[in-house]
Amino acid sequence: MLIIADNNIPYAAEAFGRFGEVRLVNGRSLTAEAVKEADILLVRSTVKVDEKLLGAASPRFVGTATIGTDHVDQAYLAKRGIVFASAPGSNAESVGEYWSAALLFLARRLGLELAGRTVGVVGVGNVGRRVVRRAKALGMDVVKCDPPLGRETKSDEYRPLGELLERADLVTVHVPLEKAGSDPTWHMADEGFFARMKPGAIFFNLARGPVNDSKALAAAIDSKKLSAVVLDTWEGEPVVDPKLAARADIATPHIAGHSFDGKVNGTQMLYAAVCRLLGEKEAWKPADSLPPPEVPRLTVEAAGRSVEDVCSEAVGALYDITADDARFRATMTRPEAERGKLFNDLRVNYPPRRAFSYTAVVAKGATAAQKGALTGLGFRVSAL
């Protein structure tokens, strides 16, 4: 078999080599000619999988090692009988860790006490659930909005969007990009959305760029309706509006879910899907390939400090979100013709970021609240 895989999918050769030849390619320059003989095609979100790409090919399986699937024409694949799989939830912990780092950074910068403030989580799927857990770990109240889940569960824990916007001090969106259907999300965060938010609220978009209307968002920032904005996804990617990037308090190039472990999870999920298709037992185990973490153990002096202060130190020791922000902002001064390539380069060459769970935190003199918060953020915690 010929397996063609994006070279940004870690351990593709190790996982799929037992099935045949693994050919690693640059997904951003993938052509119909390059995939013409593929039996298995493994991509990431930079590859548009449709009739144009696959018209002359006859793969048995197409997989995307990503949560999102809006880059794949699933109807076309189904029509041709091509098995498709994605990796839902593979990088959800990574996005949750990014969210924690961004929130704690803003809290320090703005002088905010997080405990008792209200977070509005729009979209409570794999990522949203992890954001809810982290918000509660930091002592925040949570309002959840997820119309599909609300209909499915008939639970009043899922509130209308308007109510969430009016109650939340921080609104964070974690929804798929849908232009049609019963719950469209394209430009969901429009002028009316921002008008209903509390004055001085904070807005996060770590989902898809077009979930917010960029012009409406810029206007909400300029009018001081919003006190802070965190953007990891952008309309028009990979070419980003530098004026909007300059307005954001944290601006990064769609890397919230780019932790090394999140990518490996995606590989594992596609590998399991191919094994099911071929009727083979799973032989490759990600744990056999993973390198040790850079920070296996971290000691934090917790006595006499606030929960937020202790959590900020622990998170900051593993992930400096300001470095991601600085690298991205440095590209915004370049000509537009270069910025798209630079955006992609930042994603392809993203430095390895390991999951918090690989680090054991020794919290000296920690209270139950401090230990609970660190655990809720994903750390393994012990106290002295």
Q: Is 2 left (phi over 0), alpha (psi -120 to 50) or beta?
A: beta
Decide if 342 contacts 334 (C-beta within 8 A).
Answer: yes
Q: What is the reported pLDDT for 383?
A: 64
- Is 380 a catalytic site residue? no
Task: Give the torsion sign (CA, 138, 168, 69, 319).
Answer: negative
Q: Does residue 208 have an active-site annotation?
A: yes
Q: Which of 300, 313, 316, 318 is nearest to 384 (CA)?
A: 300
Catalytic residue of the set 93, 97, 237, 308? 237
Report the b/e string of 105-119 with b at 16+ CB within 10 A: bbbeeeebebeebbb
Q: Which of 134, 247, 254, 347 is catalytic?
A: 254
DSSP letter at 287 equals G
Catalytic residue, chosen from 130, 174, 208, 353, is 208
DSSP 8-state secondary structure symbol assigned to residue 20: S
Predicted TM-score (pTM) of the model is 0.91
* Domains present along the chain, CATH in parentheses: 2-86+259-288 (3.40.50.720), 92-251 (3.40.50.720), 297-383 (3.30.1370.170)
pLDDT in tens, the chain (384 residues): 999 999 999 999 999 999 999 999 998 889 999 999 999 999 998 899 999 999 999 999 999 999 889 899 999 999 999 999 999 999 999 999 999 999 999 999 999 999 999 999 999 999 999 999 999 999 999 999 999 999 999 999 999 999 999 999 999 999 999 998 899 999 999 999 999 999 999 999 999 999 999 999 999 999 999 999 999 999 999 999 999 999 999 999 999 999 999 999 999 999 999 999 999 999 999 888 889 999 999 999 999 999 999 999 999 999 999 999 999 999 999 999 999 999 999 998 999 999 999 999 999 999 999 999 999 999 999 766
Residue 295 Cα to chain centre, angstroms: 22
Strand pairing category for 2-6 and 21-25? parallel
